[in-house]
C-alpha cells in the first residue's frame, strides 16, 4: 500500500429520518405493548438492524397469516398494498406504518387513479416498495425499470397518463426514464415534487462529491438495500472501483492495496456503528488519517404515530 492512506467520509451518510422513525416505532411498540411485536418483512434492508430488533422481541414475518388475530403488526419502511391493509383490517390487527415518504407516493397514486389516469411506476420489479406501490390499485398500473421498458409499454390511453417513482432509485437513472416517458407520452403528468426521497438524493450527491477525490469507494449496506446499491453504482459511473459491504469483515485487502484515498459512505438503512467498524478495519490495513468531507447536515425528523407516542408517554 502507498505510505500515506486517507479515509474520507461522505456527508451525509447512513440512517435517514424514515429509518430512525421505523426503528423507533418497533422499539416503542415493544415498550408499550410488550413482545412479541410482529413486523411484516424486514423493517429496513439491513441485517444488523433486523438482528438487533429480533433480539429485543420483534418477530419478522413474510405474511400476515403468521400474525395472531388482534396482534400488533408494523409494516416495513417499503410500504404495503391495499390488499395487505384490507387483510390486516379483517383480522383486527393493530397496524403501524413507518416511512411517510413512501406513504406520500401511495397517496399520489390514489389521487392519480381518482382522476382516471393510468399510472406508470418507475422502479425495480420484486422490490417490496415497488410491490406495495403497484398494489395501490387493482388496475391501471404499469412498472418500468428501463428506457427499453418504456419503448415496449402499451397503455390504454396515452393522453391520460401519470408516473411515480420508487423513492430509492438513482436520480440519474430515474431522470433518463422520465425523459423517455415524456418523449413517448408527451401528455404524461408527474408528481408535483420528485418522489425520490431527500435522503436518497443527499447521499447520492455526497458520493458524487466524494468519488472523484478517491481511488476506491466502500459503501456500507446490505445486498438487498436498493439505495445502497445505487450509491455503489453512482461511484462506479464516475469511474471509481466501488464495493458494497454488509460488515467490515467483508473488506478484502486487495481492494485497497494501491489506494491513497478511500471513500466511505453508508446507505440510509445502515447504522453508523457499521461505518466505525469499517474505519477501524481500514486503519488496521494501513489507513493513517480519517476525514469527513463537507456536506449537508440533515435536520429532517418524522414524529412517531400519535397513538403510540401517547401510550408510551403514559406508560
pTM: 0.85
Q: Which residues of the chain have pLDDT under 50?
A: 1, 312-315
Quote the mean pLDDT of the chain. 93
CATH number of the domain enclosing 85: 3.40.50.11270
What is the C-alpha separation between 24 and 30, in angstroms, rounded?
10
Q: Specify if 304 maps to a domain.
A: no
Angle subtended at Cα 119 by Cα 117 and Cα 125, rounded to the nearest 5 degrees: 165
Q: Of 129, 154, 184, which closes a domain?
A: 184
Alpha helices, DSSP H, located in 34-145: 47-56, 82-90, 100-114, 128-134
Q: Specify if 299 maps to a domain.
A: no
Q: Of 119, 154, 184, which closes a domain?
A: 184
Q: Specify if 191 maps to a domain.
A: no
Grid cell at residue 278: 469499517
Per the structure, the count of domains in the chain is: 3
What is the tens place of the pLDDT at every residue in 255-309? 999 999 999 999 999 999 999 999 999 999 999 999 999 999 999 888 888 877 7
Q: Specify if 37 maps to a domain.
A: yes
Alpha helices, DSSP H, located in 115-157: 128-134, 147-152
* Share in percent of the chain as helix, strand, coil (round to 5): 45, 15, 40
Q: What is the pLDDT of residue 186?
A: 97
CA atoms within 13 A on the CB side of 224: 15
Indicate whether 79 and 108 sit together in one domain. Answer: no
What is the C-alpha separation between 192 and 174, in angstroms, rounded?
15
Indicate whether 52 and 89 sit together in one domain. Answer: yes
Indicate whether 106 and 93 sit together in one domain. Answer: no
Q: Specify if 235 maps to a domain.
A: yes
Q: Specify if 298 maps to a domain.
A: no
Q: Which residues have C-beta within 8 Å of that of residue 39, sequence separation ≥ 6?
A: 26, 53, 58, 59, 60, 61, 73, 74, 75, 76
Q: Which residues have C-beta within 8 Å of that of residue 259, sequence separation ≥ 6?
A: 1, 2, 5, 214, 215, 216
Does 129 participate in catalysis according to the annotation? yes
Q: Of 51, 66, 98, which closes a domain?
A: 98
Indicate whether 121 and 73 sit together in one domain. Answer: no
DSSP string spanning 209-268?
Answer: HHGGG-SEEEEES-TT-HHHHHHHHHHHHTT-EEEEESSGGG--GGGGTT-SEEEEEE-T
The answer to whether 191 and 236 are in contact (CB under 8 A) is no
Q: 3-class DSSP state for residue 43?
A: coil
Indicate whether 108 and 179 sit together in one domain. Answer: yes
Q: What is the pLDDT of residue 315?
A: 44
The candidate with the shortest Cα–Cα distance to 37, out of 19, 55, 12, 13, is 55
Grid cell at residue 280: 477501524
The answer to whether 8 and 292 are in contact (CB under 8 A) is yes
CATH number of the domain enclosing 220: 3.40.1010.20
6, 118, 129, 131: the active-site residue? 129
Range of the domain at 210: 6-15+199-292
Indicate whether 120 and 152 sit together in one domain. Answer: yes
Q: Specify if 288 maps to a domain.
A: yes
The candidate with the shortest Cα–Cα distance to 269, out of 107, 105, 41, 96, is 41
Q: Specify if 64 maps to a domain.
A: yes
Residue with cell 414475518: 61
Amino acid at each position: 500500500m502507498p505510505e500515506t492512506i486517507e479515509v474520507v467520509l461522505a456527508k451525509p451518510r447512513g440512517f435517514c429520518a424514515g429509518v430512525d422513525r421505523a426503528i423507533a416505532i418497533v422499539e416503542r411498540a415493544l415498550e408499550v405493548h410488550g413482545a412479541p411485536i410482529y413486523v411484516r418483512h424486514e423493517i429496513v434492508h439491513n441485517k444488523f438492524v433486523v438482528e438487533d430488533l429480533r433480539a429485543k422481541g420483534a418477530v419478522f414475518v413474510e405474511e400476515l397469516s403468521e400474525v395472531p388475530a388482534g396482534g400488533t403488526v408494523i409494516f416495513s419502511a417499503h410500504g404495503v398494498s391495499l390488499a395487505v391493509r384490507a387483510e390486516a383490517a379483517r383480522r383486527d390487527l393493530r397496524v403501524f406504518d413507518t416511512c411517510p415518504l413512501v406513504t406520500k407516493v401511495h397517496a399520489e397514486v390514489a389521487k392519480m387513479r381518482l382522476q382516471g389516469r393510468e399510472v406508470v411506476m418507475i422502479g425495480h420489479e420484486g422490490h417490496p416498495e415497488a410491490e406495495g406501490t403497484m398494489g395501490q390499485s387493482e388496475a391501471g398500473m404499469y412498472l418500468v425499470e428501463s428506457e427499453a421498458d418504456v419503448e415496449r409499454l402499451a397503455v390504454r390511453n396515452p393522453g391520460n397518463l401519470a408516473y411515480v417513482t420508487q423513492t430509492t432509485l438513482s436520480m440519474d437513472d430515474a431522470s433518463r426514464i422520465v425523459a423517455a416517458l415524456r418523449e413517448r407520452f408527451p401528455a404524461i403528468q408527474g408528481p408535483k415534487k420528485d418522489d425520490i426521497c431527500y435522503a436518497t438524493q443527499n447521499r447520492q450527491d455526497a458520493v458524487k462529491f466524494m468519488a472523484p477525490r478517491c481511488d476506491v469507494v466502500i459503501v456500507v449496506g446490505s445486498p438487498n438495500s436498493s439505495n445502497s446499491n445505487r450509491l455503489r453504482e453512482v461511484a462506479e459511473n464516475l469511474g471509481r472501483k466501488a464495493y458494497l459491504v454488509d460488515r467490515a469483515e467483508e473488506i478484502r485487502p486487495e481492494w485497497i492495496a494501491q489506494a491513497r484515498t478511500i471513500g466511505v459512505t453508508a446507505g440510509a438503512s445502515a447504522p453508523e456503528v457499521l461505518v466505525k467498524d469499517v474505519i477501524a478495519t481500514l486503519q488496521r490495513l494501513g489507513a493513517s488519517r480519517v476525514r469527513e468531507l463537507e456536506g449537508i447536515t440533515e435536520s429532517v425528523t418524522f414524529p412517531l404515530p400519535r397513538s403510540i407516542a401517547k401510550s408510551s408517554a403514559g406508560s
